[in-house]
Every structure is written in C-alpha cells, then in structure tokens.
Amino acid sequence: MKHPPSENTIRLSATDRGLRAAAAMLRDGRLVAFPTETVYGLGADATDDRAVAGIFDAKGRPRFNPLIVHVPDRAAAEALAEFDHDAEILADAFWPGPLTLVLPRRPGGPLADLVTAGLPSVAIRVPAHKTAQALLRSFGGPLAAPSANASGKISPTTADHVLETLGGRVAGVVDDGQTGVGLESTIVGLTDGVPRLLRPGGLPAEAIETALRRPVSGPAEAEGITAPGQMSSHYAPGVQLLLNTDVADAGALWLAFGPLEGRRGLSLSESGDLVEAAANLFAHLHSLDAMAREAGMDRVLVDPIPDTGLGRAINDRLRRAAAPRPGDAE
Ligand code: TXA
Ligand code: MG
C-alpha cells in the first residue's frame, strides 16, 4: 500500500446496536466491512460515487473493476436491473445465496457510475448471511462490496483477516466470526440471451445448469473478467482524449485535474484530490462528450494526473478511453 493508515478501524458487534452504528457510518459515505456467507465484503453506499471511490482507494486497486451490488431481496434487485426469464429462474432457485447475476442495468437508476465502471450492466447479489441481511435492511439501500482485502491479498473469511490488510483504512468491521462458504459467489452473466459463467465460485455451475436445463457458456470475448478494459465500447467517449497535455490551449475543451483557471471544461477535482477525481471520472467523461458535441469539437485535452494511489486507476481508465477503436480512421 502506498498511503499510510489514517483512521481507527472500529470493530463492531453483530448486534442491533453494532449494525445501527455500521449503517450510520455507511450513510456518512464511509466504508464498513461485513460478513457474507462467502467472504467478508468491503461495503460502501452503492449510490454514492465518492464512497465507491473510497473502496478502490482503500483496497489499493490499480483498476476500476465493476463491483458487486448487494441488496436484501429480489424486489430491491428489480429496482436496479432488468430480469429476463433466465434471471427469474436463477433468482428464484438460488437467492438468497452465493450467486451473483450480471444483468442489464435499469436506465436512470440510482447507482453510482463507478460501481459498474460505466458499464450498461450491473452485478447483483442477495446474500443469505443473517448479519449481511440485517445490515442491508438497517442501511436501507444497495451496498457495493468487493472482498474486504487489499488488492492482491487473499479474500478474508474472518474480521481479523480484514483488519490485517485494511485496518486503518476503513471506518468499521462488523465481526460475526468465520464465514461459511469461504469462496466468492459464482457470477453468471445474463446480458446477451446466453447464460455465461463469468466466475466460478461458491455455487457449483452444475446447479445452475440443472435449474436452467441447459449448459452455461464461458464468458463472451467482450465480457471476460480477464479483460475488463474490453468489456464494452461504452467506456469509450465519442470524442478523442489527448492525455497528459500540458500545452496552453485556451480554445480547447479540458478535463482538468486541479483548477480550471479560466479554461473551458470540467475539473475532476479542483483541489487535486484523487478520491474526488475518481468519483467524478465517469460522469465528467459523459458530460464532456455532450459538451463537445454541442460545441462541434472533436477532442478533449486532459491534464496530467499523478500516477499514484487512485491516480493509477484513473490513468488506466483514461488510457483505455483514449485508445483508438475499431472503426476509427486507419
Ligand atoms: O462473494 C462475493 O461475491 C463477494 C462478497 C463480498 O459478496 N464479493 C465480490 O465482489 O467478490 P467483487 O466486487 O470483488 O466482484 C467483482 C467481480 C468483478 O471482478 C467482475 O468480474 C464481476 O464481478 N462483475 C461485476 N460487475 C460486472 C459487470 N457489469 N459485467 C461483468 N462482470 C462484472
Ligand atoms: Mg476479491
């Protein structure tokens, strides 16, 4: 980890009182780790871009992978995503439980752009663990939660494991002993009419095939979790991004880092804060696209962004968005 621990992580009990305190921290946009039946998750308010940026910061992730959104039941899931017949069958058969469904994201829903890394789909799971359920109900909204370990470390199955790599980086951890499954949830993609196994996990693929009465395929080229940068052209803005620009070009449109100082465009963070910049990234790319279209401009100049901490993930995403795409002039 690049940055030093900066807060006192509070160990909370899995009692009404502990969960109320955890829910209050989450409502404040802070991070709380909690047990699920698979592994401990690092939870944040899934509707708050800034809170979600905090997850990537705390984990020290070099990339913005899309995160799993946890909800207490099917009705809450249906507010966020569109269910086809296969999705209904799998939700009926295996929720609550160690199954995550990747479904088309409901347009205009409340989720933060950073949760889905700008994708038009969303990964949703209804955990069975009674403490996860109680926390979701006490918080009263969707929680983004990857496994609660620093990037590159193994997934935690106890609160002590969480504290080993994230102690000092999160507000709280709800301690409810050891998780049962110990493996992450199985992820099934249902976005193109073909059920796809995106990640093997706690629920055997055979159980899914039995419920669907047909085999599940591997990930599509474009959806593979091994190639998140190629997951969708939706990452790519319509304008050309010119990165690490330090020329003075008053007429241009800018994606700034730090003050705009009279330039046209938007700043990821006026004060140069990388967490704020990450929270604004996807929304600003969308807005600049629209601004450029309206102004009849075809490129956006981007300030240099420090390649440390969350800056690495921001630069990774910007590089992907700036790369020439198939169909561009040859
Ligand atoms: O067991 C689990 O699933 C744990 C516990 C805490 O619930 N959570 C977990 O979350 O493993 P996370 O965020 O680490 O899983 C993220 C994975 C990504 O690596 C990606 O492969 C897949 O979920 N994913 C998420 N959204 C996706 C999307 N829209 N399309 C394709 N894959 C997606
Ligand atoms: Mg993990």
Q: What is the pLDDT of residues 120-163, one digit of tens each?
A: 999 999 999 999 999 999 999 999 999 999 998 888 999 999 99
CB-neighbour burial class of residue 271 (10 A; exposed 0-12, middle 13-18, buried 19+): exposed
Nearest to 288 by CA among 319, 314, 256, 320: 256
Amino acid of residue 168: G
For the CA atoms of 245, 230, 114, 74, what is the dihedral angle to 10 degrees? 170
- Joined together, the tokens standing for residue 161 give 């494991």
What residues flank ligand 1, with Cβ below 6 Å? 36, 38-39, 41, 65-68, 100, 102, 116, 119, 121-123, 125, 145-147, 184-185, 187, 189, 198-199, 223, 225
State which H helix or E strand residue 13 sits in.
strand 10-13
Q: Which ligand is nearest to the CA of 154?
A: 2
Query: Using CA positions, which residue lies closest to atom 10 of ligand 1?
Result: 146
- Residue 143 CA: distances (Å) to CA of 28, 137, 306: 13, 11, 29
Average pLDDT over residues 196-218: 92
pLDDT in tens, 188-201: 999 999 999 999 88
For the CA atoms of 44, 46, 50, 55, what is the dihedral angle to 10 degrees? 40
Query: Using CA positions, which residue lies closest to atom 1 of ligand 1?
Result: 184
Residue 324: the pLDDT is 62
Strand order through the sheet with 240-242: 240-242, 299-302, 253-256, 264-267
pLDDT in tens, 89-120: 999 999 999 999 999 999 989 999 999 998 99
Q: What spacing in Å lies between the alpha carbon of 146 and ligand 2's midpoint?
A: 6
Per-residue pLDDT at 315 exceeds 60: yes
- Joined together, the tokens standing for residue 274 give 């990388």
Residue 161: the pLDDT is 93
Residue 273: the pLDDT is 95
Residue 330: the pLDDT is 30
Residue 227: the pLDDT is 39
Average pLDDT over residues 67-80: 98
Query: Using CA positions, which residue lies closest to atom 9 of ligand 1?
Result: 146
Average pLDDT over residues 67-91: 98
pLDDT in tens, 166-185: 999 999 999 999 998 888 99
Nearest to 297 by CA among 254, 259, 248: 254
pLDDT in tens, 241-266: 999 988 877 789 999 999 999 999 99
Residue 97: the pLDDT is 97
Residue in 32, 67, 181 to alter for ligand 1 test, most ligand atoms within 8 A of Cβ: 67
Residue 238: the pLDDT is 78
Residue in 38, 40, 65, 174 to alter for ligand 1 test, most ligand atoms within 8 A of Cβ: 65
Residue 326: the pLDDT is 53
- Joined together, the tokens standing for residue 164 give 């080993």
Q: Is it true that the peptide bond before 96 is cis, omega within 30 degrees of 0?
A: yes
pLDDT in tens, 223-247: 444 334 334 334 567 789 999 988 8
- Which atom of ligand 1 has the smallest separation from the CA of 121? 29
Per-residue pLDDT at 277 exceeds 90: yes
- Residue 215 CA: distances (Å) to CA of 91, 157, 212, 221: 17, 31, 8, 18
pLDDT in tens, 32-64: 999 999 999 999 999 999 999 999 999 998 889
Other C-beta atoms closer than 10 Å to the C-beta of 121 total 22
